[in-house]
């Protein structure tokens, strides 16, 4: 690694965002080095990545200390430090050779390491939107207190960030902004007859028309909970109230989001739908680097279209706005219930249309409370999971 290269920790290296990040790092070895990589349980995939990128640290967060696994890493030629268990993710944030942390773990499991990276003053590249949904005020406070920057990887938020002028302390300024417009593709079921939704399969839900992503976020895109989570994410990231965040369906996924100013000007960021564009932006910010993404050929698209979201088809979007309105721990409850419902759907235990019903039940049963600290959030998350599990079991029993 060149002595000037920036050390990057890629948490969730074996995932879809992890792969795009490592692709970019490999394109710019003089600028970046993958010094730490994590996977949850994908031992073989992590060994393969370590052989290719030669990191100094590797973490298997979902595996307990295991001599056999240790031996396999050694036999593969890995000479760095191998750690096991979830707390090792937080330890990575304390490593001196890590300057930037790509937070690309999926779900609530990514929260603790994201917070640790921010508290240590590392540059945080945030793909793990669930962390902001659960702990927006805590995470943004940690970023400010440490005097560091958080750069959004989610394509919509990255687009908004790119359309805003710089403000104080590395955060963009929203002073003259009237509205933020988040675009949504509408997912694979945008035009499917609504009465067919009940029968759709996990593979159909994961066949996104424009993006190749992990299975959890693919299902979130199909229910549009993804956009709901993104509304909450935008609320905290840009410190903007929900009334000023609008969702517009844009099936081509070329316009990644827009910012409307008080004078009526609307700025947008466009690119081919490839996550290497926002990742390259965040890695190099405020500079620019090549991403390997093909130039945008607007003539090939011919037409870009926009339409309002159908809230009857996509009840999850309204549930997310409702949770934001309820405040406190409500978004945490929403997120936890969604994670369990999506997991059950992917395992063939819950119908697609029951995902929103499970979330609604959890939000109806558990009152939102003020967010005091991380422990309160963890307790709310656990409570929601218990209630969601029971709701899923009842739904399974009814279907049997
Ligand atoms: P993937 O499912 O492709 O990858 C998830 C990664 O997280 C894997 O490395 C996985 O390891 C690891 N992981 C899974 N569970 C845990 C856990 N409990 N603890 C620690 N690590 C875990 O997901 P994506 O890359 O698609 O998404 C990652 C995040 O980025 C999500 O929050 C998603 O919403 C967000 N995002 C993704 C986009 C995309 O285009 N993919 C776009 C915008 C945001 P293992 O392989 O061992 O299971
Ligand atoms: Mg997105």
Taking only the tens place, the pLDDT of each residue in 299-345 is: 998 999 999 999 899 999 999 999 999 999 999 999 999 999 999 99
Of 127-131, 182-186, 206-210, 316-320, where does mean pLDDT reach its minimum? 206-210
pLDDT tens string 145-181? 999 999 999 999 999 999 999 888 778 999 999 999 9
Whether 320 is in a domain gets the answer no
Residue that finishes a domain, picked among 115, 133, 148: 148
Strand runs labelled E in the chain = 6-11, 32-39, 57-60, 81-84, 100-103, 123-126, 150-152, 177-184, 245-249, 255-261, 266-270
Counting atoms of ligand 1 from 1, which one is nearest the CA of 220? 34
What's the CA-to-centroid distance between 148 and ligand 1, angstroms?
Answer: 24
Whether 322 is in a domain gets the answer no
Average pLDDT for the chain: 96
Task: Among 184, 214, 224, say which to mutate for ligand 1: greatest number of ligand atoms within 8 Å of CB.
Answer: 214
Mean pLDDT of 114-143: 97
Q: Is the pLDDT of residue 2 over 70?
A: no
Whether 332 is in a domain gets the answer yes
CATH number of 47's domain? 3.40.50.720
Task: Among 11, 15, 19, 36, say which to mutate for ligand 1: greatest number of ligand atoms within 8 Å of CB.
Answer: 15
As for how many domains the chain has, the answer is 3
Q: According to the model, what pLDDT value does residue 282 have?
A: 98
Whether 257 is in a domain gets the answer yes
**Cα dihedral across residues 394, 395, 399, 400: positive or negative:** negative
Q: According to the model, what pLDDT value does residue 4 have?
A: 87
* Ligand with the closest atom to the CA of 129: 1
Residue 105 CB less than 6 A away from ligand 1:
yes
Q: According to the model, what pLDDT value does residue 167 have?
A: 85
Q: Tell me which residue range forms the domain holding 204.
A: 154-275+283-315
Residue 154 CB less than 6 A away from ligand 1:
yes
* Ligand with the closest atom to the CA of 108: 1
Question: Global pTM?
Answer: 0.97
CATH number of 383's domain? 1.10.1740.10
The residue contributing the CA closest to ligand 1 atom 45 is 40
Counting atoms of ligand 1 from 1, which one is nearest the CA of 113? 20
pLDDT tens string 11-43? 999 999 999 999 999 999 999 999 999 999 999
pLDDT tens string 248-270? 999 999 999 999 999 999 999 99
Distance CA 89, CA 77 (A): 22
Q: According to the model, what pLDDT value does residue 1 have?
A: 63
- Per cent of the chain over pLDDT 90 is 94
Same domain, 70 and 164: no
């Amino acid at each position: 690694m060149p002595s000037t290269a920036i050390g990057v920790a890629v948490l969730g290296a074996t995932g879809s965002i992890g792969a795009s990040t490592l692709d970019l790092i490999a394109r710019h070895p003089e600028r970046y080095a993958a010094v730490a990589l994590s996977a949850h349980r994908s031992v073989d995939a992590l060994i393969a990545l370590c052989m290719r990128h030669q990191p100094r640290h590797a973490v298997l967060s979902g595996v307990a200390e295991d001599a056999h696994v240790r031996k396999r890493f050694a036999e593969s030629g890995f000479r760095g430090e191998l750690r096991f268990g979830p707390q090792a993710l937080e330890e990575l944030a304390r490593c001196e050779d890590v300057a930037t942390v790509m937070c690309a773990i999926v779900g609530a499991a990514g929260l603790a390491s994201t917070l640790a990276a921010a508290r240590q003053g590392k540059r945080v590249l945030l793909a793990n939107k669930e962390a902001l949904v659960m702990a927006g005020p805590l995470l943004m406070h940690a970023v400010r207190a440490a005097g560091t920057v958080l750069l959004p990887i989610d394509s919509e938020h990255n687009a908004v960030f790119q359309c805003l002028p710089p403000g104080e302390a590395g955060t963009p300024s929203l002073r003259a902004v009237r509205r933020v417009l988040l675009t949504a593709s509408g997912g694979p079921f945008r035009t499917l007859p609504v009465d067919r939704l009940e029968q759709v399969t996990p593979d159909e839900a994961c066949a996104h028309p424009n993006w190749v992503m992990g299975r959890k976020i693919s299902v979130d895109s199909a229910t549009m909970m993804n956009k709901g989570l993104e509304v909450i994410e935008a609320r905290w990231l840009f410190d903007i109230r929900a009334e000023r965040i609008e969702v517009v369906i844009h099936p081509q996924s070329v316009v990644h989001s827009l910012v409307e100013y008080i004078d009526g000007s609307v700025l947008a960021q466009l690119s081919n739908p490839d996550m290497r564009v926002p990742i390259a932006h965040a890695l190099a910010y405020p500079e620019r680097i090549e991403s390997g993404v093909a130039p945008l050929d607007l003539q090939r698209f011919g037409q870009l279209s926009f339409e309002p979201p159908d809230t009857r088809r996509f009840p999850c979007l309204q549930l997310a706005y409702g949770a934001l309105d309820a405040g406190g721990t409500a978004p945490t409850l929403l997120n936890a219930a969604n994670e369990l419902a999506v997991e059950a759907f992917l395992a063939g235990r819950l119908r697609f249309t029951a995902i929103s019903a499970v979330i609604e039940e959890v939000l109806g049963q558990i009152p939102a409370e003020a967010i005091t600290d991380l422990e309160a959030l963890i307790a709310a998350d656990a409570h929601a999971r218990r209630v969601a599990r029971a709701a899923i079991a009842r739904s399974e029993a009814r279907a049997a």
